Amino acid sequence: MTGLEVTLRAVRHRGRRAFVPYFMAGTSNEWLRHVEAAANAGADAIEIGLPFSDPMMDGVVIQEAAKRSLDRGTTLASVVGELASVDVGVPLVVMTYYNVLLHGGLERSAAMLAQVNVRGAIVPDLPPEESSEWSSACAPHDLATIYLVAPSTPNERVAMVAQRTQGFCYAQGRMAVTGTTSEEGDGASVAAAIRAVSDVPVYVGIGVSTPEQAQRAASYSDGVIVGSALVRRILDGATPNDVEDFVRSFRRALDASHE
């Protein structure tokens, strides 16, 4: 069991629903201050996007953030260099695409990430069946590889993914790219399918954009991931204080639902 999963299982054992905000690295000079603000406001882990020019999972908001980041010259090496200057006290998980890691060299990329408190990686275009080289590169550094389950995933594949994921299993709330929505989605059925075959922590993401939606998602999962709603605010000029207020609103909702 990876260190990330030990940490997240401990969060669940305390009866706490995890909140995981997503940030795109390098969107502004303040992006690290935003990350620190989220940790101060009660995030249990923080997902950090490494920008890629041709994302397959990201909607328009995250794409805009990635373009802004790339235009500023953001690379894997630059993100690692900046992360070396902070210690937010909660696990960091990167979300990126396989080409970014392959371009940097799998072993080198895994080692660089692990050196700056990154405890896991979500690589949506890397299927479990083709992940052996990346997993081998991660193993010496206790770097978890986190897999996703979609509403369309057949039951037999859910079992395979749930067995191989490390840290937590990412339950897609909708068959869509990332983005905000008022629809309830399929998170409950996806989470139930994962829980039927594994005790791994289950976090729901894609489409969770308000504290109320997070509260509902937490009723059938171990935690929620919020990306586009937060990134949109940052693109529109949110300050670290604004980010802290945003995260606290979700933290209060999650805590209130399980008092």
Residues marked active site are found at: 47, 58
- Work out the angle at residue 187's Cα, subtended by the Cα atoms of residues 184 and 193, and round it to the nearest 5 degrees: 150
Cβ neighbours for 38, distance < 8 A, ≥ 6 positions apart: 21, 23, 46, 88, 243, 244, 247
Query: 20 by DSSP, 3-state: which?
Result: strand
Query: 146 by DSSP, 3-state: which?
Result: strand
- Work out the angle at residue 142's Cα, subtended by the Cα atoms of residues 177 and 113, and round it to the nearest 5 degrees: 60
Cβ neighbours for 77, distance < 8 A, ≥ 6 positions apart: 104, 112
Two structure tokens written together for 252: 């209060």
For the chain, give the number of residues: 259
- The C-alpha atoms of residue 212 and residue 195 are separated, in whole angstroms, by 23
Buried b (16+ CB within 10 A) or exposed e, 185-196: bbbbebbebbbe
Cβ neighbours for 129, distance < 8 A, ≥ 6 positions apart: none
Query: 106 by DSSP, 3-state: which?
Result: helix
Place of tokens 């069991």: 1
Place of tokens 């008022």: 182
DSSP-derived letter for residue 243 is H
